[in-house]
């Protein structure tokens, strides 16, 4: 069954200005909510933020929505016009507080052990649902005009959202047809798992819209067929992940910790970084015991050992990334490290330098985008998603 292919529009102003702008939790308010209401209702981390950072988040939200209205309107669907979606969910990003590569497996994947933490740089996904009609595709999607990197985002079966919706339909036999509109804020090829998060969010949404025919454990198992990082997003937001990354163990939430994501203009290909590691099948990589690393982080986030075994190969593929890391390190954060297979570098804590000039310096020197984020958690109620009470 063919997917609906939608016309791509030329790049947005936001996209063109991104390297020069400091983007703080850029987000578009869906579903006709006023911006302030949306921010207050949908973003508990924002509600708890200090007044100064709250106002800058809201300013960024306002600026972004004003831009969206200047194009075709953030609430407009190419397929459903102004009809309100049945469900709107936020898909968070992730960082890896440590990432140990243990060995290369016989199947070519790398056995890893990593502490994943969900963070509040979110994509927004709207969903509409229709009943059975075998003459029409079981799923379809569109990308909002104001999405970051919209031109390069496919809407066919190569998009993980489409693959997740199709997989859910195949596994459950549901005949409901789901249409997704993706508002993309989080960059791709960034080591932030944003595409994986969108896929997990789509599976959760399809299950919820169908009345929960699948258990969460089934969704975790099915999602591992699509990619190694997707299962994590079904966790509570802080998880120790092993295997390819798809075996998740919830661990207690970490304390609220200041965190900045610094994404250079260029991305990194995950397979290229793993390949650069240069391990042969069956070969192990020595390093500290990951259970000991986990225990250290649980005692104190800032006292943890920030170690990512993918940093050396990523810096070999993109030498200028190490220069960005060193410039950030010189600013006096508690920790500075690459997330996943890059190219995002995250900074924990606050810089020792005064003021916000450091952000402009980094943006200008490295053409990077900077996102200030919070650690975020998911409700223990498995029927709810991130950022829902
Ligand atoms: O599973 P996923 O599709 O996200 O992985 C993308 C690529 O990253 C794999 O094809 C593989 O080259 C590499 N990878 C790996 N070991 C992992 C995860 C990913 O070698 N644990």
The secondary structure of the chain in percent helix, strand, coil, rounded to multiples of 5, reads 35, 20, 45
Residues β-bridged to residue 370: 262
**Residue 372 CB neighbour total at 10 angstroms:** 21
Measured from the CB, is residue 96 less than 6 Å from ligand 1? no
**87 pLDDT higher than 70:** yes
For 124-153, the pLDDT digits (tens) are 999 999 999 999 999 999 999 999 999 999
Tokens of 112: 């890893």
Measured from the CB, is residue 227 less than 6 Å from ligand 1? yes
Measured from the CB, is residue 228 less than 6 Å from ligand 1? yes
Q: Atom 20, ligand 1: which residue's CA is nearest?
A: 109
Locate the ligand 1 atom nearest the alpha carbon of residue 245 and give its number.
21
Among the listed residues 67, 345, 380, 7, the one whose alpha carbon sits nearest the alpha carbon of residue 192: 345
Q: Atom 11, ligand 1: which residue's CA is nearest?
A: 271
For 307-318, the pLDDT digits (tens) are 999 999 999 999
Tokens of 179: 């249409």
| CB burial of residue 35 (10 Å; 0-12, 13-18, 19+) | middle
Measured from the CB, is residue 110 less than 6 Å from ligand 1? yes
Residues β-bridged to residue 112: 101, 243
Q: Atom 8, ligand 1: which residue's CA is nearest?
A: 271
Locate the ligand 1 atom nearest the alpha carbon of residue 110 and give its number.
16
**200 pLDDT higher than 90:** yes
| CB burial of residue 316 (10 Å; 0-12, 13-18, 19+) | middle
Task: Give me ligand 1 centre to Cα 270, in Å.
Answer: 7
Locate the ligand 1 atom nearest the alpha carbon of residue 196 and give its number.
4
| pLDDT class of 74 with cuts at 50, 70, 90 | low
Within its chain, how far is the Cα of 242 from the centroid? 19
Locate the ligand 1 atom nearest the alpha carbon of residue 270 and give its number.
8
**51 pLDDT higher than 60:** no
Locate the ligand 1 atom nearest the alpha carbon of residue 275 and give its number.
12
**45 pLDDT higher than 60:** no
Measured from the CB, is residue 191 less than 6 Å from ligand 1? no
Please name the residue that has the structure tokens 């407009």.
Answer: 76
pTM of the model: 0.84
DSSP state letter for 233: G
Q: Is 62 in a helix, a strand, or coil?
A: helix
Measured from the CB, is residue 271 less than 6 Å from ligand 1? yes
- Bond before 359 cis per omega within 30 degrees: no
CA–CA gap between residue 194 and residue 365 (Å, rounded): 25
Among the listed residues 116, 91, 112, the one whose alpha carbon sits nearest the alpha carbon of residue 101: 112
**Residue 184 CB neighbour total at 10 angstroms:** 24
Task: Give me ligand 1 centre to Cα 56, in Å.
Answer: 37
Q: Are 105 and 317 spatial neighbours (Cβ–Cβ below 8 Å)?
A: no
Task: Give me ligand 1 centre to Cα 109, in Å.
Answer: 6
| pLDDT class of 1 with cuts at 50, 70, 90 | very low
Handedness of CA 366, 360, 270, 14 (dihedral sign): negative
Task: Give me ligand 1 centre to Cα 297, in Å.
Answer: 25
Sequence-ordered list of residues with C-beta below 8 angstroms from that of 229, at least 6 positions apart, any chain = 94, 193, 196, 245, 246, 340
How many percent of the chain have pLDDT more than 70?
Answer: 81
Measured from the CB, is residue 313 less than 6 Å from ligand 1? no
Residues β-bridged to residue 98: 115
């Amino acid at each position: 069954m063919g997917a609906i292919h939608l016309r791509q529009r030329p790049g947005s102003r936001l996209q063109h200005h991104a390297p020069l702008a400091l983007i703080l939790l850029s987000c578009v308010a869906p579903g006709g909510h006023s911006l302030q209401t949306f921010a207050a209702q949908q973003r508990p981390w924002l509600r708890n933020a200090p007044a100064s950072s709250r106002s800058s988040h809201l300013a960024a939200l306002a600026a972004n929505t004003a831009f969206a209205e200047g194009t075709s309107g953030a609430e407009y669907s190419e397929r459903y016009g102004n009809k309100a979606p049945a469900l709107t969910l936020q898909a968070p990003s992730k960082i890896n507080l440590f990432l140990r590569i243990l060995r290369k497996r016989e199947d070519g994947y790398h056995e890893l052990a990593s502490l994943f933490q969900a963070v509040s740089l979110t994509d927004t996904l709207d969903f509409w649902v229709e009943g059975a009609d075998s003459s029409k595709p079981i799923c379809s999607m569109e990308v909002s005009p104001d999405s970051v990197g919209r031109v390069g985002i496919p809407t066919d079966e190569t998009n993980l959202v489409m693959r997740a919706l199709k997989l859910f339909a195949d596994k459950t036999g549901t005949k409901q047809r789901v249409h997704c509109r993706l508002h993309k804020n989080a960059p791709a090829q960034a080591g932030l798992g944003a595409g994986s998060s969108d896929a997990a969010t789509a599976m959760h949404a399809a299950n919820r819209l169908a009345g929960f025919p699948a258990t969460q454990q089934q969704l975790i198992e099915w999602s591992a067929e699509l990619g190694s990082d997707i299962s994590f997003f079904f966790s509570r937001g802080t998880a120790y992940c092993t295997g390819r990354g798809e075996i998740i163990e919830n661990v207690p939430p970490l304390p609220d910790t200041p965190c900045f994501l610094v994404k250079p203009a260029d991305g990194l290909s995950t397979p290229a970084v793993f390949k650069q590691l240069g391990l042969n099948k069956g070969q192990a990589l020595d390093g500290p015991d990951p259970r000991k690393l986990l225990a250290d982080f649980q005692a104190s986030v800032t006292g943890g050992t920030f170690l990512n075994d993918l940093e050396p190969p990523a810096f070999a593929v993109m030498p200028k990334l190490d220069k960005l890391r060193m410039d950030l390190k010189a600013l006096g954060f508690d920790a500075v490290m690459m997330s996943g297979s890059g190219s995002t570098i995250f900074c924990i804590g606050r810089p020792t330098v005064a003021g916000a000039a450091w952000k402009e310096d980094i943006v200008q020197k490295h053409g990077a985008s900077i996102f200030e984020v919070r650690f975020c958690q998911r409700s223990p109620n498995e029927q709810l998603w991130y950022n829902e009470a």
